[in-house]
Structure 1
Amino acid sequence: MKDFQLYVITGEAFHKNKELVTVMEDAIKGGADFIQLRDKTSSRKEVFEKAKQLKELCQSYEVPFIVNDYIDIAMAVDADGVHVGQDDMPLAHVRKLVGDDKIIGVSTHKIEEALEAEQGGADYIGVGPIFKTNSKEDVVDPVTTSYIKEIKATISIPFVAIGGIKTHNVREVIEAGADAVCVITEVVAADDVQAAAMRMTEAINEAKA
């Protein structure tokens, strides 16, 4: 894995009048350097087609491409990796399926889950939700920036903060210890996706300066 700082997850419900590939390309042009396809509603065939298109896009920009949950689809399109949650297949089995050369990310909401993911061989972890978010259904209560501080002091693998992160509050997240943030609506729901990604990238860099 190479260093990254702006991880963008797809959210087609928030840009119904725009093509998925166009939106994600604009996000990349604006500074997104890690892309995840997350689709809980489309048919597996539709998810496969989207994954294939996004893999080609990300490959052309040399940006890592991750598929959420669908390990078989990730492998079929030769994605760079997969992202799984706490209720998905155990990490050890995921690793057996994808092999050692693929990236595996794991969502975590407390330090015990983060330690388990690190010890189990995850390449990075998601840390959150930091703030209240409406982008996903059935999310746990916000873990706040205190969880970032705990992760920073305990975990050695890369992590990305997620959940309710916006341009106006990203400084708080970076100052708590995050090197990378993950967003959905702040970028993909914007009228000008590229400009929104650029604003977030600039805000991250300013917070790190």
Structure 2
Amino acid sequence: MLSLYFIAGTQDILKGTLPEKLEAALKAGITCFQYREKGTGSLQKSEEIKQMAIVCQELCRKYSVPFIVNDDVALALEIGADGIHVGQEDQNIVDVLNLFPDKIVGLSCYDEMEVAKANQLEGVSYYGIGPVYRTISKKDAQKQIGITKLQELVKLAKLPVVAIGGIDTENVQAVWQADVDGVSVISVLARAKDLDVAIEKLKKVRSK
């Protein structure tokens, strides 16, 4: 489920629409999708965000791929998303876990202390660890941690780890070698001219 995790919102799509890009990615083989509507160029009206989320959710359901909402607890609950992903400062994680007892709950972690604290929680599904490399998709991203730190955090983590941040077809092999359970990508797929080729490269590298 976590191996090829696509994250996107309307702000990430330079050509075409998010639903068009998402369906192409689903056909090409992504295993999870997170709807993240944030930043310059994103939808601002709650009803528009909700309608876009529902369209994306229906596409994910069509291809039997989990649909995760980024941060927006109210939206995830209202539309019955498969799960929620939150950062360290977005929502109180204990409250989130109580609201989503039987859903996928992802938690962003950046360092040893955050992973150690997360290891004490009951109900978290996976950790999103990064940014591994410099990212252009998140303006407020923390400093990149690099592969060595990623490996250390993977060893410390008691749950599956999805790496995030600046991952592309050129550096993904090093990320897989850190023994992560999945890679999450934004730009490499959102801006890909040929999604089939991009996803094939991301998947093929893992089998080497």
TM-score by length of 2: 0.92
8 Å CA contact 2:115, 2:156 repeated in 1: no
Matching of residues 110-125 of structure 1 within 5 Å: 110-121=111-122, 122-125=124-127
Once the 2 structures are TM-superposed, how far is the Cα of residue 14 of structure 1 from its aligned partner? 3.6
Structure 1 residues 23-38: aligned runs within 5 Å: 23-38=21-36
Distance 2:49 2:205 in 1: 32
Q: Distance in 2 between matches of 1:165 and 1:71?
A: 27
Q: Is the 8 A contact 1:124 1:158 kept in 2?
A: yes
Aligned length, in residue pairs: 203
Q: Take 2:74 and 2:119, find their aligned partners in 1: how far apart are those partners?
A: 23
The worse-fitting range, judged by mean Cα deviation, of 46-55 and 197-206 is: 197-206
Q: What is the root-mean-square deviation in Å for CA atoms of aligned residues?
A: 1.4
Structure 2 partner of 1:5: 3
- For 2:7 and 2:192, the matched residues in 1 are separated by 14
Large movers: runs of 4+ above 3 Å: none
1:177 to partner: Cα distance: 1.6
**Contact 1:31 1:201 (8 Å CA) reproduced:** no
- What is the CA–CA distance in structure 1 between the aligned matches of 2:34 and 2:176, rounded to whole Å? 21
Counterpart in the other structure of 1:197:
199
Q: Does 1:188 align with 2:190?
A: yes
Q: 2:128 aligns to what?
A: 126
Quote the residue 2:179 is aligned against: 177
Structural mapping, 1:33-182, within 5 Å: 33-40=31-38, 41-42=42-43, 43-98=45-100, 100-121=101-122, 122-182=124-184
Q: Which stretches in structure 2 are left out of the alignment for 5+ residues?
A: none
- TM-aligned CA deviation for residue 59 of structure 1: 1.1
Amino acid aligned to 1:79: A
Contact 1:11 1:184 in 2 (8 A): no
**Deviation, structure 1 residue 198:** 2.3
Distance in 2 (alpha carbons) for counterparts of 1:48 and 1:14: 17
Q: CA deviation at 1:171?
A: 0.8
CA distances 1:34-67 after superposition (whole Å, capped 9, x unpaired):
1000002322211111111111111111111100
CA distance in structure 1 between the partners assigned to 2:147 and 2:168 by the alignment: 14
> In the aligned structure 2, how far is the partner of 1:29 from the partner of 1:195?
12
Structure 2 distance, partners of 1:138, 1:4, is 24
What letter matches 1:182 in structure 2?
S
Check whether the contact 1:91–1:117 (CA below 8 A) recurs between aligned residues.
no
**Alpha carbons 1:36, 1:66 under 8 Å: kept:** yes
Instruction: Find the residue that maps to 1:119 and give its secondary structure.
Output: coil
Distance 2:110 2:160 in 1: 15
- Partner Cα separation in structure 2 for residue 108 and residue 157 of structure 1: 12
Q: Deviations over 1:89-141 (max 9, x none)?
A: 1111011222x111111111102111222322311110100011111111100
Counterpart contact for 2:70–2:85, Cα < 8 Å: yes
Q: Distance in 1 between matches of 2:169 and 2:9?
A: 18
